[in-house]
Amino acid sequence: MDEEARHRDRMRRKKELIDRRIARATIDRGVLVVNTGNGKGKSSSGFGMLARSLGHGFRCGVVQFIKGSFSTGEEAFFRMFEDGPLDYHVMGEGYTWETQDKARDIAAATAAWEEAERMLRDPSYDFILLDELNIALVKNYVPLERVLQALVARPERQHVVVTGRGAPDALVAVADTVTEMRVVKHAYQAGIRAQKGVEL
């Protein structure tokens, strides 16, 4: 058998395997995705899924915890959809080491969670991004049990993405898909400042 024939045979067997796996996936409901870890890309992935959802004509909601003291490219871009299918809320006061005011951070996180909870009860939202919610959970700014209850009780077809470092084990346990971003190398470690279009 020549190389091309061997390749065709491998791809035929691979296709059969993948087709069997696809045929077994018969459940059709909303998924809970958690992006966590110390590596870059957690929010970026969530915003990529937001773009995908808007492309499919979904009604979407965004609540950003922690972030908020500076403008980002994703906010500037996605605000263009606000008069249509997107409800966008930047509710953080900025990074906690910048605010240096725990009571203020808790108040901001609580207000953000109340907005998120409203969306999670509303079946008209197809996709919700809760950006940096994990940070608010790790710092105990928002009660974990309240978050878990709302996520589990959300409308059946609603997709939710939660981002941020340090996802609690209980959140990981109820999620459908969990990705942990790992740092291999980061420009910041070499002294390169945050750049528009990359971090901002």
Q: Domains of the chain by range and CATH? A: 28-190 (3.40.50.300)
Q: What whole-number distance in Å separates Cα of residue 9 and Cα of residue 58?
A: 40
CA distances from 87 to 39, 62, 128, 142 (A): 28, 6, 9, 21
pTM of the prediction? 0.89
Cβ contact 132:65 at 8 Å: yes
Question: pLDDT tens digits, residue range 75-91?
Answer: 888 888 878 899 999 98
The residue assigned the tokens 């940096």 is 132
Those residues with Cβ within 8 angstroms of residue 163's Cβ, 6 or more apart along the chain or in another chain: 34, 35, 36, 42, 43, 45, 46, 129, 130, 131, 132, 133, 134
With 0-12 / 13-18 / 19 or more C-beta atoms within 10 angstroms meaning exposed / middle / buried, residue 65 is: buried
The average pLDDT across 166-193 equals: 93
pLDDT band at 5 (very low <50, low <70, confident <90, very high): confident
pLDDT of residue 55: 95
pLDDT confidence bin for 129, thresholds 50/70/90: very high
**DSSP class of 189:** G
Each residue's pLDDT tens digit, 42-74: 999 999 999 999 999 999 999 999 866 567 888
Predicted confidence at residue 61, as pLDDT, reads 97
Contact of 125 with 59, CB cutoff 8 Å: yes
Predicted pLDDT of residue 190: 81
CA 193 to chain centre: 24
